[in-house]
Amino acid sequence: MTLKGFLRAATAFAAVVPAAQAADLGVARVPVAAAIAVPVADWTGFYAGAHLGYGFSGRFNNNSGLNLGGASGVFGGLQAGYDWQFNSLLIGLAADISVSDIKKTVPVFGNPLTAKAEWFGSLRARAGVLATPDLLLYATGGFAFGGLKGAAPAFGVNTANTHIGWTAGVGAEYRFTPNVSGLVEYRYTDFSKKTYPFLVSAGYQGHEVRLGLNYRFTTGPAAVIARY
């Protein structure tokens, strides 16, 4: 037998004998742990995207006695933000801006008066939990701002003001790929009052539901080690 053959035989014998002795003693064999890399979603990073939504049950609250409730309309715009993931928890900062057709028209002495939210946006925090590696459930809230306009051509009224306020809501976001996610979100928005012609003080309160699509500039899936 050559030296190389002897070494092979010795190695095989050293592996077999302990296992045989363990079996003789009634000791269960312990399998060797194996490790594999499992990709999981990493939500940390910057994202940007677009949204489309519908505003409903809005109210241009005012002191004129006019019933400007029931305002509704579509809106759309852009959003961006940054998220930090801590295991299954996520916190982030978000901003959005929208152009809007949310409005209400009422007759005043036989002539139309239209109150309209022409645009609005927000700067918000959001926090949530990953129900699955790709599904985020979250709450959000923060500072809101927007442009309201009152128009009554027959009375020479065509005035716009920028209002500030707050917004809060809940949503869900799902990652279709490591870089593309979609969201559905409900928010309530409240703008403070400002003075319009004829000393009318008016603001806005309303509900919005939006659908959005984001591109996430993440580093891609993170690898974790699973043992069995």
| pLDDT value of residue 28 | 52
- Same domain? 133 vs 160: yes
Alpha helices in the chain (DSSP H): 3-24
| pLDDT value of residue 199 | 84
- Same domain? 89 vs 202: yes
- Same domain? 13 vs 84: no
CA atoms within 13 A on the CB side of 88: 7
Q: How far apart are the first and last CA of the chain?
A: 40
- Same domain? 16 vs 72: no
- Same domain? 8 vs 70: no
Structure-token pair, residue 1: 């037998």
| pLDDT value of residue 3 | 44
Q: Domain range for residue 110?
A: 38-225
- Same domain? 44 vs 152: yes
- Same domain? 117 vs 8: no
Instruction: Give the DSSP letter of residue 179.
Output: S
CA atoms within 13 A on the CB side of 192: 9
Residue 131 belongs to a domain with what CATH number? Answer: 2.40.160.20
Question: What whole-number distance in Å separates Cα of residue 148 and Cα of residue 116?
Answer: 6
- Same domain? 221 vs 171: yes
- Same domain? 64 vs 11: no
Q: State the pTM of this model.
A: 0.78
- Tens of pLDDT, residues 98-133: 999 999 999 999 999 999 999 999 999 999 999 999
Instruction: Report which of 114, 129, 127 is spatially closest to residue 160, judged by C-alpha positions.
Output: 114
Neighbours of 89 (CB within 10 A): 11
- Same domain? 126 vs 87: yes
| pLDDT value of residue 8 | 56
Regions of the chain with pLDDT less than 50:
3-4, 6-7, 10, 13-23, 27, 30, 32-33, 35, 37-39, 222-228
- Same domain? 66 vs 106: yes
Average pLDDT over the chain reads 86
Question: Which residues, 6+ apart, have CB-to-CB distance to 4 below 8 Å?
Answer: none
| pLDDT value of residue 69 | 96
| pLDDT value of residue 146 | 98
Q: Total structural domains in the chain?
A: 2
Cα torsion for 14, 19, 25, 28, to the nearest 10°?
150
- Same domain? 134 vs 209: yes
